[in-house]
Amino acid sequence: MKIQLRYFAAIREALGSEAETLETSAATLAALRDELIARGDPYAAALARGKAVRAALDQVMRDESAALHEGAEVAFFPPVTGG
């Protein structure tokens, strides 16, 4: 399936890109993150397991068990703190 990826903040800076279209067979956000990590650096470093990374599916915050669908928009970003 084809999905749209968006990257924000430090992840965008690490990857040098704010968006891309991806053809994937990943069924969940977790599988998608693992697929991107498997690309190697800079994806492996920016999205590494153990790093705090949040994900939104179609502009709604979701946990990594959320199912992907054709045309989905997935956004990855580090947690945001404010003050």
Per-residue pLDDT of the chain (83 residues; tens, 9 = 90+): 999 999 999 999 999 999 999 999 999 999 999 999 999 999 999 999 999 999 999 999 999 999 999 999 999 999 875 55
Report pLDDT for 83. 54
* Boundaries of every domain in the chain: 2-77
Asked if the 2-77 domain carries CATH number 3.40.50.1980, the reply is no
Q: Which two tokens stand for residue 15?
A: 């990857």
Report pLDDT for 80. 73
Neighbours of 79 (CB within 10 A): 8
Report pLDDT for 38. 98
Report pLDDT for 36. 98
Tell me the pTM: 0.93
Residue 24's identity, in one-letter code, is T
